[in-house]
Amino acid sequence: MASAINNGTFVFNPEELKDWSRVINELTFANPTLNELHLVEQGIKSKQQIVFAGRIEQLGKKIAANCVPNEINGITLTDKFWDPVLEDFRLKHCTSDVNQQNKLVNQMTRVNPDYFTITEGSQSQIGNFLVAAVLDAFDQIILEKAWFDDKDGDTFDAVPAGVFTNGTDVAYYTGFDGLFKQIFTSISGSANTNRFTSIAKNAGVSYAAQELVSGEALSTFKSVFTKADGRLRANANAKFYATQSIWDGLVNDLEDTQNSGGVTIITEDGKQTLRYRGIEVVQMSVWDRFIDTYQNNGTVRFRPHRLVLSTPDNLRIGTLSDGDFGDVNAFYDQYNRVNVIDGAYSLDAKFMEVYLASVAY
What region does 143 belong to: left with phi over 0, alpha with psi -120 to 50, or beta? alpha
Q: Is 153 left (phi over 0), alpha (psi -120 to 50) or beta?
A: beta
Cα angle value 248/290/172 (rounded, 5°): 165
Look at residue 359 and tell me whether its pLDDT is greater than 60.
yes
In-domain check, residue 122: yes
Give tens-digit pLDDT for 299-346. 999 999 999 999 999 999 998 877 666 667 767 777 777 877 777 888
In a domain, residue 60? The reply is no
As a whole number of angstroms, the distance between CA 219 and CA 217 comes to: 5
pLDDT digits (tens, 9 = 90+) for 33-92: 888 999 988 888 777 777 655 566 666 667 777 777 777 676 666 668 788 888 888 877
The pLDDT confidence band at residue 17, using thresholds 50, 70 and 90, is very low
Alpha helices in 193-347 (DSSP H): 207-210, 216-227, 230-233, 244-257, 285-294
Tell me which of 152-161, 178-187, 333-342 is least confident: 333-342
Percent of the chain with pLDDT over 70: 69
Instruction: Report how many domains make up the chain.
Output: 1
For residue 1, pLDDT beyond 70: no
pLDDT at 3 over 70: no
Q: Look at residues 203, 222, 259, 232 and name the one whose alpha carbon lies nearest to residue 353.
A: 232
Side chain identity, residue 231 = R
Report the predicted TM-score, pTM, of the whole model to 2 decimal places. Answer: 0.79
Q: Where are the alpha helices (DSSP H) in the chain?
A: 14-17, 20-27, 32-37, 103-106, 124-148, 179-186, 207-210, 216-227, 230-233, 244-257, 285-294
What is the per-residue pLDDT for 96? 60
Least confident range from 12-16, 22-26, 189-193: namely 12-16
Residues 12, 5 contacting (CB under 8 angstroms): yes
> Has residue 240 been placed in a domain?
yes
In a domain, 80, yes or no: no
Q: What share of the chain is helix, strand, coil (3-state, %, to 5)?
A: 35, 25, 40
Q: Is residue 239 part of a domain?
A: yes
> Angle 124-148/179-186 helices, nearest 10 degrees?
0
Contacts (Cβ under 8 Å, ≥6 apart) of 144: 173, 286, 290
Determine the structural domain holding residue 197 and report its residue range: 14-53+88-360
- The verdict on residue 148 lying in a domain is yes
